[in-house]
Structure 1
Amino acid sequence: MNQNTKQLSAAQAEELLKILKNRFEQNMNRHTGMEWVKVQAKLEASPSKLWSLDDMESTGGEPDVVAYDQKADEYTFFDCAAESPKGRRSICYDHQALEARKEHKPKDSAINMASDMGVAILTEAQYRYLQDLGNFDTKTSSWIETPAEIRKLGGAIFADRRYNKVFVYHNGAESYYAARAFRASLKV
């Protein structure tokens, strides 16, 4: 992987495409009526998006196609791992929260990591949509995009699934837990 250009080598791209194709074919309920060959063509035309998907994959997100916007001609990928991605856990919400911690600082923040990966954090609406596709975060939780008015007051929101219901909660943005990460979204 070339960090400067954010492109995968040909071999890395081929391996990632195999993984994504396999996941796509095993989870057709997430993308009814879509064809892998069209998704692959979009991916091959967007090397930087492949790089971002590789980051999603390597941190445990298990990205998969969950929507297609015909007007924009864009496919949307979400992290579809059963639990919040392991390679992104124990992080606070954003850089401001990270800087505010005086001791026991986490290694990073959700917003910083998402930016570095070239992805967005799921919104509450996107998180609820994901939960319509399956049961996710039954043992973990995921930071979700926090409205400015909540963040301005020092808070951040996260969500999970318990008792067959999706819950959205609040916490101080500087908090971090071993079972909380974030789920990403990427449009291609």
Structure 2
Amino acid sequence: MTKVAAGKKKLSTAERDELFKTLKARFEKNMHRHKGIEWAQVQAKLEADPAKQWSLNAMESTEGEPDVVAFDKKTGEYIFYDCAAETPKGRRNVCYDGDALEARKEFKPADSAVDMAADMGIELLNEEEYRALQELGKFDTKTSSWLATPAAIRKLGGAIFGDRRYDQVFVYHNGAQSYYAVRGFRGALRV
């Protein structure tokens, strides 16, 4: 994914309409993810925020398959997570963050999970969010996803990732500079 200037983060009417059509179809197909939430209310919030539309489109274009997973009553925000069965294809083969990328002396990946997420206007799922996602289905049975890493772990050079194996959700660690063809990241967006 190429970096985009903040002012360019707006979809055309046709792009927006196509995105809404895709999101609505996914929403209706997966009602178990968002019981008690109505699509019309979600769309109304999205229509009022072009930057969030752009971020959701970035999630979609990198094959994240974003969907509504919750409503935060305190903030009045709908919460989207990447709900693709496996970690998004367009975000794989990245190390954890910019510091890890800079630390690699050779064979550097093209980008880092944290930097890509920031450019997309989304946040990496943390461990709690990742485990909540796994309650909605079986995700990352063949892949793994970098997770927002506590500062104390990152300070020591590590980063955490999650996956599902043997019908269990595992959260484990790796050097932040590592990258693999089957590891990407999942994001969250509040609208």
Range class of TM-score, shorter chain: over 0.9
Task: Name the residue aligned to 1:59.
Answer: 62
Stretches of 4+ moved more than 4 A in 1? none
RMSD of the TM alignment (CA)? 1.1
Q: Does 1:17 align with 2:20?
A: yes
Alignment match, 1:80? 83
1:72 CA displacement: 1.0
Q: Structure 2: how far apart are the matches of 1:60 and 1:10?
A: 21
Secondary structure of the structure 2 residue equivalent to 1:167:
strand
Alignment length, in residue pairs?
Answer: 188
Identify the residue that residue 98 of structure 2 maps to in structure 1.
95
Shift of 1:2: 8.6
- Structure 1 residue 186 corresponds to structure 2 residue 163: no
Tell me the residue number matched to 2:110: 107
Structure 1 gap segments, 5+ residues each? none
* Partner residue, 2:74: 71
- 1:153 Cα deviation from its structure 2 partner: 0.5
TM-aligned CA deviation for residue 161 of structure 1: 0.3
Separation in 2, partners of 1:155, 1:12:
39
Q: Give the distance between the partners of 1:45 and 1:145, measured in 2 at CA.
A: 28
Q: Which secondary structure state, in structure 2, belongs to the residue aligned with residue 90 of structure 1?
A: coil
Q: Which residue in 2 is equivalent to 1:8?
A: 11
Which one of the candidate residues 35, 38, 43 is aligned to 2:38?
35
Query: 1:42 aligns to what SS in structure 2?
Result: helix
* Length-normalised TM-score, structure 1: 0.98
Residue matched to 1:175: 178
CA contact (8 A) 1:2 1:8 kept: no
Percent identity of the aligned residues?
A: 67
Q: What amino acid maps onto 1:41 in structure 2? A: A
TM superposition shift of 1:145: 0.5
Structure 2 portions without partners, runs of 5+ = none
Deviation at 1:80, TM superposition (A): 0.1
Partner Cα separation in structure 1 for residue 146 and residue 75 of structure 2: 27
Q: 1:10 to 1:158 in 2, by over 3 A?
A: same
Looking at structure 2, the residues matched to 145 and 162 of structure 1 have their Cα atoms a distance apart, in angstroms, of 20
Alpha-carbon contact 1:101-1:174 (below 8 Å) kept: yes
Shift of 1:171: 0.3
- Per the normalisation by structure 2, the TM-score is 0.97
**Equivalent position to 1:134, from 129, 137, 152:** 137
**2:159 matched residue in structure 1:** 156
Which letter maps to 2:143? Answer: T
For residue 71 of structure 1, report the CA deviation from its aligned partner.
2.2
